[in-house]
A and B are shown apart, each in its own frame.
Chain A
């Protein structure tokens, strides 16, 4: 799987949008971008994924650049419960569906 680069940490004000960047400059054409998060001591939780187009669901939006070398996860109205480590992962569906986790971004939502 291609590697990703994320900032190690970031703070966000409660009620504001949180924009989490991810670089994946070596992504190949058949690799998807996935986002997971892990709240302290719990198992990772799936958030969203995409290939080329921007995606939105009830949790977040995913913006992928046209060249696909970077993406941004947007939490539109961060709450204290969104405090977690967020992982950006690129995955080739043909590669046994395996996920390769990097270090992630530790997001702290402050009141």
Chain B
């Protein structure tokens, strides 16, 4: 089974600063994918970034980058130059290639990010 742990219930960051949201995972699958989603107060889960377990380089998407440390089983999200609109709940999720239901994502409990001016 897959397990995702997000240990930061809440994080605060000043506008224009960088922030790191932590995520650790546990799986026995040889191949897996790691995802980060953003959930504003409106409720929709917005896909941000993906990292494959066999990817050699850390994923980047605009202001988002994923600090992937496979040996430590961590996949932290780094948001650079924070904006007020980044205030939201952030979820780390994963899926594996064995045994899991088709397409099933396993989610952490999330981190509430607040960006202040």
- Chain B associates with chain A: no
Binding site for A on B (CB under 8 A): none
